Amino acid sequence: MNFNKKGNILFIPLAVFILSGLFMWNGAAFATDNETYKNLKLFNEVLNLVEKNYVEEVDPEVVIRGAINGMMKALDPHSTFMTAEQYEDLKIDTKGTFSGLGIVITIQDDMITVVAPIEDKPAFMAGVKAGDKIIKIDGEATKDFTIMDAVHALRGERGTKVTITVIREDEDGSIDFEIVRDLIEIKSVKYRTYYNDIGYIRISNFQETTTDELNDAFKEMKLKDAALKGIVLDLRNNPGGLLDQSIKVSDMFLKSGLIVSSKGREEGSEYTYKANDDGFEPECPVIILINSGTASAAEIVSGALHDNKRAVLLGTQTFGKGSVQTVVPLKDGSALKLTVAKYYTPAGESIQAKGITPDIAVEYIKPVATGKGESQRIREKDLEGHIKGEEEVEQEVSIIGEETENLKKDNQLKNAIDLLRNWDIFKKI
């Protein structure tokens, strides 16, 4: 695999998970024009007035950090300032093990919003649902919280309790959940076979161990099933993770071709990532399951395999997270996460705020009496202040168990398996 870059690049690290994408800073110089100097002078004037005349004595650090947070918030939902503690949290996120609630969160309408609870984890077991808006954590209002503020508040030692207060669409009043934090150890790859000849692989996120886990899955399935008719790669509700892992996963299915490219404003900010023939790529047909929770790094894999004619996409439109953030460590141990580029699929498409359209559109039909469908899920375009996609500018599940029961509950998976079992007929259509 070719990595034409100067730093390590990450997409969407996960803790209580965060919808964002990252790569590490390699240094750059910035020119400051006269307009910037004028605004800095204004800022200094306001700061002096506040320090001298505000009714109570103010802590300069609190005021300045508040100004920095405001500056980041004015950019887009994925740019943020992190304290030293929050930065340490971020570095832990991609390890796959932490103590917390097990929820995917973002900011929507200036509120901390649950994208999805992780199955069988504390928040999920307590009844937290996708779309819930967290208005309080242990009684403290979250109105001005950044994502990292929420992450830090929701995390804690295993066995300790945290109370979150949420509001839910079509529910009167707020709902309190007292949740006991637990060790959230995320195994990112689950797999099995259906009918002894269809491989099923679910990747829940992209963390440091994902490629190794996928290798193990390949080996196990090949040992048990010498002649797979096809593979279903399930990337539904996968919020992303490490870019290098998404590239390696793509490469495991591709013998050649462009995987992804990125381009920023600065000269020399273009990077390309290509696949190599390692001799171990599966030869059978692949169908990728996608939905509105398929984001960032998961969209990279979907776009790479689709544009290289290696996989058929089945499901619904993806999230549309097509921007890249760089993490800049600062001298005091804090860090800045700043959006610096957009990434592009092999076909040269930016999926920012647009997402990827499936080849075969199949809406997920929830089993009876289980609540709302995925139409209530949040996409990148729903986030306030998101970077507009090209079209906008122009227009101004772990599924392990009995085969038949699983397929009754999951119409998208059933469709994919039926297509793979009848692939020769499907190819002629």
Catalytic residues: 296, 307, 321
Task: Give the gyration radius of the chain's Cα atoms.
Answer: 22
Q: Which residues contact 333 (CB under 8 A, 6 or more apart)?
A: 84, 87
- The burial of 245, by beta-carbon neighbours within 10 Å (0-12 exposed, 13-18 middle, 19 or more buried), is given as buried
Contacts of 413 (CB under 8 A, 6+ apart): 200, 232, 234, 289, 399, 406, 407
Q: Are 278 and 251 within 8 A, CB to CB?
A: yes
User: Minimal CA–CA distance to 246: which of 303, 196, 198, 190?
Assistant: 303
From residue 26, alpha-carbon distances to 51, 270, 324 in Å are: 36, 14, 14
Residue among 391, 414, 395, 390 at smallest CA distance from 404:
414
User: Residue 45: CA atoms inside 13 Å, Cβ hemisphere, count?
Assistant: 6
Beta strand extents in 49-147 (DSSP E only): 80-82, 97-100, 103-108, 111-117, 133-137, 140-141
Q: Which two tokens stand for residue 274?
A: 């290509």
Tokens 């920095």 sit at which residue? Answer: 68
